[in-house]
Structure 1
C-alpha cells in the first residue's frame, strides 16, 4: 500500500510540474517567436535592429517568452552614447495574452514595443541603458532646448521624439510588474491603455518620465518607485523641471487609482493635464463632442510620496473630481499641488511641509489653484510653507475663450486644517474683470503663522461653518514592494545631481562640473573607487604655471577639484578622471581678465518686443551720465526676471535702480590668447553681439529665450585680442554668460 501511494504521489507531482520550455537561440535580427520558449543569447553579443522593426518578433497569442538568466538582448555597444541608440528590442503587435518574463534589453531606442496586445504580462524585465537625449543644461545655466513637450501624442510623437524602455499602445487588462529601468530617458509609456495594473516597478533616475500615460483610464498604478525622473535642475540655481515627471498623465486619463508610489525628486512628481482636445485647443474628435466635463477626471491619488520636485509635487490642471488624500508633499521647490482650473477636487489629510523656497512669482507653498471652483481642502497639515493655500483669478484672456475652460473662482471650502509656521496661511487675490467669491475658511487651527489671511480688496471670506464630510471610495492594492520611504536617505533636493545624460543614481562613480565660469573652475568627484586617477592636460603654448590645482571636500563627502588661473589670459585645459571601468573627460577654459562694464536703461517696444532701433543712440547710452560703470572678472550674469539687482556678486548691479525690463550692457576687455582655434560660447536672453578684433563674431540681436550661440576664432600667434560684448534685455527672464574653450 505504501509503495502504491508513493507511486501515485510521484505521478501527481510529475503532472503538476510545468513542462520544460524549448530554448530559442537569438543571434540575428528579425527572430520570429511563435511558441512558448526560453530565449538564450550569447554573452556580449550585439544584435542590431537593422530595419527598425524589432530584433525579436513575438508572433502568436497566449505564449510565454522567458529570458534565460544572464541573456541580454543588446542593440549597441555598452559605451554607445544614449542619444545615438536606434531600433526596437522586442516587438509585439496584434497578439493577446502574451507573457514576457525576465527580459533584459539594452542599447535600443525602444526596449519593448507592444501594440494592440490585450492581456499582455511583462514581469521581471530589466530595460536599463536605452535611449536618452544628451542634455545641454549645465549646473550654472538652463538650456531651453532641453524642454520636453508632451502635449501632442495622437500620432506617436512621444516615442518618435523621446523613446521609452517599455511602450504599450492600445491595450486593456495589461499587467506590468517588477520592471526596472535606469540610464534612460523614459521608463514605461502607456498610450490608450485601460483596465490594467502597473505595480512593483522601479523606473528611477531617468531624464524624462518614469511612467507616462496618454488617454489611459481605469488603471491601477501602485507601489512603484518613480524617483529622480528629472531634468532642468541645479540646486539653488534654477528649478525648471522642463516637463519631466515621475508620473505623466495627459489627455483625458481618468478614473485611475494612483496609490502608495514613491514619486520624489522629479521635475514634477505627478504632472497631469486635461489635454488640448479636452479644453478645445485641438479640433474635437466628433461634431457632437461635449466640453462640459472633460479632463483627467475622478482619479484617486492616495498614499504617495510626492516630495522634493523641482517644480510641483502634483500638477493637475483643467480637470474635475480628483481626490488627493493621505499623500506627502515635502520640500517641493514651487508648491505641493498646482491645480490651475481644477474643479470639484478633494484635497484631504495630506502633509504639506517646507514647500515654495524657489517660488515661481507668487505661485508658491502648499496648495496653489488658479481659476478653481468647488474644491474642498480639509484635514491637511501645512507646516513651514512659503504660503499654505493660494487661490486666485487673473485675466487669462486666451484660455477663457476655449470651450473646455471654466474660469470662476467660487465656492472653495478650506476647513479643519492645521497651519503651523507658514508665512501666510491663506492668500486670495483677483484682477479687474474677475472675482473670488464664496470662500469658506473655517475651523482651521493657526499656530505661529506670519499672516493668517491676505486678501485683495473686495474679497470676502466666510469664517464660520462645519467641517464638511467626505468619503473616499474603497480600493484594493496589489504588489509586494513598499517604495514609500525606501530612499529616505536621499531626502532633499540637494541630492539631485544632473549630468548631461540625466540624474546621478547615487551608486555609480560620478565626476561632474560644479562651475566652469569665473577664474576658478570646480569639479566634484563622488563615489570614486581607489583605482581612479586624475589628470589635467593644458593647451599647448601655455606656461606650466598658468593653472593651479587644489582639492577639498564637498558638502556630501565627495572630493572637490579647484582649477584656478594664476595670471591674466585665456587658459584651455582638459580634466580627465578615469579607471579601468569608466572615463570622464571635461574640456574648458578659464578666462582671467578685467572687463569694463557699462549698464544702462533704454526705451523700446515690448509689444511686439523689438531690439534697439537706433544702434548708435543705444551705444551712446552706455557712455551717458546715468550709466552704471564697474569692473568684473567674468561675464556670467543670471539676471532672472528681477534684473541687475539679482546679481549680488556685483555690488554696482545689486545697488542700482535698474529694474527687470529694458536695460542694456556693454563690456570690453583685451584677452591674452595663445595660438590655436578658440570657441566662444555665449548664452543670452535677450539679444547679444560679440566683437573680436572689432569685427562681429557672434550676432543674435533679437528678442529670444535662453539661447546658446557659438563661433570660432583662430589665433595664429600669441597676441592680445580686444573683445566687446553688447547685450540688451526687453522684458521677462534674462541671462548673459560667456565661455571660451579651445577647439581640439
Structure 2
C-alpha cells in the first residue's frame, strides 16, 4: 500500500513539473541587460530599461543578429539619455541589427539616443508598431527675428554615412525588401533615413513634427511609400520674416533613387514637402538621376519653400494637392516630366521650371496663384559642371493643355524657351495675362480662354494595387492649417500636443498679444514677472491673452500658468494624463544692446592664424569704419560697401550689459572665426577654419553664470565672403 502511494506521488509531481515547464515556455519574457545579443525569437519583459548611449554610434546596448528572428518588445521602453531637455546631447544607438534575413522588431519604444534603431545588411527586415520619438535633435540658433545660417543642413552626400551627424529615429543601410509600418517618429531631427535600400514597403507611419527630415532616401529604388503622416518636418522659418527651410523636407529623395512610388501621404507644413535632387553623380557625369518616380495623390501644401522640388531628373507628379507654398512645383532642369491633374492654389508661383525640356503640364487646376506657369533659361549660364557639359539643357518642347486657371494674377511668364504648345486651357475670374518676350520661339497658342472646356485624359492616372490596408493620412478638417501654424521653438516645430502662449505681436506701447493654443482645456495664471495688467487671470483653449510689458529697458518676462484639460505630451515627450495639472510659461528676454562695431582689413603680414601678434595690433589700431546699433547681425550686414571688401576683413564689437543673476546660454555664429570675451576673459572660441566642414560648425555656445554689469567683446575674422555674425544670449530655464 505504501509502495502505491509513493508511485502516485511521483506521477503527481512529474505532471506538475511538466505543466509548469510547458506553461513557462509559453509565457516567459526575458529581461534585457546592457550588452545583450539576441539571436533567436523572443518576447521582452515590458518595463523601462535605462541604458546610457555610447560615445560611438557603432555600439549599442542591444544587438540583434541572425536569421528568422522575431523580437516582440511587448511595449518595453529603451531609454538612453536622461537629460531629456537637452536632446542635442543624446549619443549612441539604442538597437543595432546586424546582417541577416527575416528579422522583425515589434512593439518597442526607443528614446534618448542619437539613433534609435540602426540596421545594416538585413534582408526582409520588419519594424512594426514602434515609437522612436524624442531622440537626437540639434538646438536651433534661428529665432523669430533672425535666421541663423549655422542651422542649415546638407544631405547631398551620404556615401560615408554623413547623414548620421543629424541622428535618426530609424537608420537603414543596405536593407532590401523591408517592411516598415505602424511606427512613430516625432520631435527628433530625422525620422526614417535609408541608403541603398530597395523594394521596400513603408506605410501607415507617422514621421511628423521633426526639425529636419521625415523620410530620407539615398540610392534607394523600387520602394513604395504609402499612407504616411509626414507633416511639420521643418526648420528655417518664421512667419512673415524668413522662409528658406534650411534643407528640411517631409520627403527627401537624393542621389540615384529611382522607380519609387509615393502615394496618399500627407507631407504638409514642411520645408519642402517633397525634395528630389538627382545627386552629385549626375552633376559630375551628366548620367543617371532620380528618375521615374511616381508622386501620386499626396498633399504637400503649406511649404515655406517648395511643395514639390524635382531637379535634373525625369518623374511623374500626378493628382497632388499643392497649396500656399513659395513654389507649387520647382522643376529646374527637369525633362520628360509629367505634371498632371494636380491642384495648385495660393502659391507665389505654381510651376517654375528653368532649363526644362520635353515636359507635359496638363489637366491641372490653378487658382489664386500670383504666377501660374513660369518657364525660362539662361543662355549665358556657364557650363561649369559635367551635367551642363553633357546634356542638352535648353528650355524647350512643352505641352500645356487642358488646364484650368482661375483668378491667376499672371498665367504665363515665359522667356528663352522654344517649341511650346498651349491649347484647350480654361481661363476664368480674369483675363488671360501673360509675359512673353522675343526670346520665345515656335509657340502654338490655341483654344485658351473663358469659353474652353478642357477634357481629361485618363491615361495619366496610374493603376496602383497593394495588398495592404492603408489609412487616411491626411490632416483632419479640424487640425490647424496654414503657414502661420509653423511655429518654431528652440528645438523644432510646435506639435499642438501641449498648451502654449504664442506671441502674435507686440505693439509700439509694449502691449503683448498672445494666442492661447493647444489641446482643449482651461488655464489659470499662477505668477507674472516683467509684465502687468493681464486681460484675464484664467481662460480656455483656444483663447487670447494680453499683457503690458513693464517700462524697463531690459525685457525679462516670465508668465507662469497652469493647464487642466486633455492629456498632454510635453515638448520633450513627457506624458500627462487627462485632467492632470500641467505648468507652462510664456517667456521673453531681450537685452537692450548698444553695440559699437569696428572694421579692420588684414593682409598676409597680419594673417590672424599665421601672424596673431600682428593681427592683434591691427584690431587694436584705427578702424576703417565704425558703426553703432542694437542688433549685431544687422550692423555687420550693413557694414560692407565700396571701402570694405568681404574678404580678409575683421570686426570687433563691444557692448555693456546689466542682467539679473542666473545661468545664460551665450552663442556665436560667425564666418569664419570668432572669439567672445566677458570682462576681458575669453569664454568662447571658434578660431580654426579647418574645422568648418558643415554649416553647424560655424556655431559655438556655452552656458555660464552672470549677474549685473559686464562688457561683451566679440572678435571676428574672415578670409572669404560668406558673411555671418549672430550673437545670442538667453537665460537657461529648467523647464519649457
Q: Which TM class, normalised by the smaller chain length?
A: 0.7 to 0.9
2:292 aligns with 298
Answer yes or no: is 1:508 the counterpart of 2:510.
no
Q: 2:485 is matched with which residue?
A: 495
Q: Is residue 367 of structure 2 the alignment partner of residue 383 of structure 1? A: yes
User: 2:158 & 2:351 partners in 1: Cα distance?
Assistant: 29
Counterpart residue number, 2:394? 408
Task: Report if aligned partners of 1:230, 1:265 keep a CA contact under 8 Å in 2.
Answer: yes
Residue aligning to 1:475: 464
SS of the residue corresponding to residue 557 of structure 1 reads strand
- Cα gap change, 1:725/1:524 in structure 2, threshold over 3 Å: closer, same or farther? farther
TM-aligned CA deviation for residue 697 of structure 1:
12
| Other-structure match for 2:347 | 355
Q: 2: CA distance between counterparts of 1:521 and 1:666?
A: 34
Q: Is the 8 A contact 1:640 1:733 kept in 2?
A: no
Paired residues in the alignment total 654
Question: 1:442·1:462 contact (CA, 8 Å) conserved in 2?
Answer: no
Q: Aligned partners of 1:509, 1:48: CA distance in 2, in Å?
A: 31
- The alignment partner of 1:167 has SS state of strand
Distance 1:45 1:525, change over 3 A: farther
State whether residues 418 and 443 of structure 2, in contact with CA within 8 Å, keep that contact through their aligned partners in structure 1: no
Alignment partner, residue 277 of structure 1: 281
Q: Is the 8 A contact 1:305 1:329 kept in 2?
A: yes
Deviations 1:554-595 (A, max 9, x none): 999345464624145x455655557787666787644569x8
Long gaps (5+) in structure 1: 1-18, 281-290, 357-364, 430-434, 538-545, 599-611, 623-628, 645-660
The offset of 1:308, in angstroms, is 0.7
- Picking from 332, 346, 350, the partner of 1:366 is 350
Please list the CA deviations of residues 436-476 of structure 1 after superposition, one character each: whole Å capped at 9, or x if unmatched. Answer: 21122222122234662202333235234699965444321
TM-score under structure 2 normalisation?
0.75
Kindly indicate whether the alpha-carbon contact (under 8 Å) linking 2:230 and 2:268 is maintained by their aligned counterparts in 1.
Answer: yes
Which blocks of at least 5 consecutive residues in structure 2 are unaligned?
1-23, 448-453, 564-579, 598-617, 640-645
CA contact (8 A) 1:426 1:453 kept: yes
Work out whether residues 208 and 230 of structure 1, in 8 Å CA contact, stay in contact via their aligned partners in 2.
yes
Indicate the larger mover: 244-253 or 704-713.
Answer: 704-713
Deviates more, 1:172-181 or 1:734-743: 734-743
1:107 aligns to what? 112
Give 1:336's aligned residue.
328
Among candidates 414, 420, 429, match of residue 439 of structure 1 = 420
Contact 1:172 1:193 in 2 (8 A): yes
- Pick the aligned partner of 1:60 from 56, 60, 66: 66
In the alignment, structure 1 residue 426 sits paired with structure 2 residue 418: no
Mapping 1:341-740, distance limit 5 Å: 341-356=333-348, 365-394=349-378, 395-397=380-382, 399-402=384-387, 403=389, 406-429=392-415, 435-449=416-430, 452-460=433-441, 462-464=443-445, 470-477=459-466, 478-486=468-476, 489-511=479-501, 525-527=516-518, 530=522, 534-536=526-528, 548=532, 550-551=534-535, 557-560=542-545, 562=547, 564-568=549-553, 570=554, 572=556, 589-591=589-591, 619=625, 635=631
Partner deviation per Cα, 1:102-154 (whole Å, 9 max, x = no partner) = 12222222222111111112221122221211111112221111111100101
**Aligned residues of 1:565 and 1:590 also touching (Cα < 8 A):** no
- Check 1:672–1:57 CA distance in 2 against 1; reply closer, same or farther (3 A cut): closer
SS of residue matched to 2:479: helix
Deviations 1:150-196 (A, max 9, x none): 001011111x2111111221122111111112221111111111111
SS in 1 for 2:344: strand
Displacement of 1:386: 1.5
Does the alignment pair 1:142 with 2:147?
A: yes
Note if contact 1:520-1:590 (Cα within 8 Å) is conserved in structure 2.
Answer: no
Are the counterparts in 2 of residues 674 and 717 from structure 1 also a CA contact under 8 Å? yes
Identify the residue that residue 257 of structure 1 maps to in structure 2.
Answer: 261
Distance 1:682 1:341 in 2: 38
User: Could you say what secondary structure the match of 1:97 adopts?
Assistant: strand
Q: Distance in 2 between matches of 1:491 and 1:236?
A: 16
- Go from structure 1 to structure 2 and tell me whether the alpha carbon gap of 1:84 and 1:616 turns closer, same or farther (over 3 Å shift): closer
Work out whether 1:208 is the aligned partner of 2:212.
yes
Distance 1:459 1:304, change over 3 A: same
Contact 2:633 / 2:727 at 8 angstroms: preserved in 1?
Answer: no
2:665, 2:732 within 8 Å by CA — same for their partners in 1? yes
Return the offset for 1:75: 2.1
> Which residue does 2:304 correspond to in 1?
310
Q: Distance in 2 between matches of 1:671 and 1:400?
A: 50
Match of 2:604 in 1: none
In the other structure, the counterpart of 2:94 is 89
Cα 1:63–1:527, aligned 2, differ >3 Å: closer, same or farther? same
Q: 1:376 to 1:201 in 2, by over 3 A?
A: same
CA 1:240 to 1:732, structure 2 compared with 1: closer, same or farther past 3 Å? farther
Q: Which residue of 1 aligns with 2:9?
A: none
Bigger mean CA deviation after superposition, 672-681 or 527-536: 672-681
Task: After superposition, give the CA deviation of every residue in 1:646-666 in whole Å (9 maximum; x if it has no partner).
Answer: xxxxxxxxxxxxxxx99xx99
CA 1:48–1:699 in structure 2 vs 1: closer, same or farther (change >3 Å)?
Answer: closer
Partner of 1:324: 317
- 2:136 corresponds in structure 1 to 131
TM norm structure 1:
0.74
Alpha carbons 1:318, 1:405 under 8 Å: kept: no
**Residues 299 and 323, structure 1, Cα contact 8 Å, conserved in 2:** yes
- In the TM superposition, what whole-angstrom CA distance separates every residue of 1:203-253 from its partner, at most 9, and x where no partner exists? 111111111111111111111111111111111111111111111100011
Q: Which whole-Å deviations, capped at 9, do the CAs of 1:584-629 have from their partners, x for residues lacking one?
A: 6787644569x8999xxxxxxxxxxxxx99x979649x8xxxxxx9
2: CA distance, partners of 1:156 / 1:102: 27
8 Å Cα contact 2:60/2:92 also seen in 1? yes
Deviates more, 1:302-311 or 1:135-144: 135-144
Superposition CA RMSD, Å:
5.1
For the residue of structure 1 that corresponds to 2:197, the secondary structure is: strand
| Contact 2:213–2:251 (8 Å) recurs in 1 | yes
Helix, strand or coil at the partner of 1:278: helix
Q: Is contact 2:286-2:391 (8 Å) kept?
A: no
Distance in 1 between the 2:67 and 2:552 partners?
72
1:38 Cα deviation from its structure 2 partner:
1.2
**SS, match of residue 123 in structure 2:** coil
| Residues 27 and 686 (structure 1), Cα distance of their counterparts in 2 relative to 1, 3 Å cut | closer
1-structure distance, mates of 2:672, 2:440 = 38
Give the corresponding residue for 2:569. Answer: none
Q: Distance in 1 between matches of 2:545 and 2:485?
A: 16
Please state how far the C-alpha of 1:200 moved relative to its aligned partner.
1.0
CA distance in structure 2 between the partners assigned to 1:385 and 1:482 by the alignment = 28
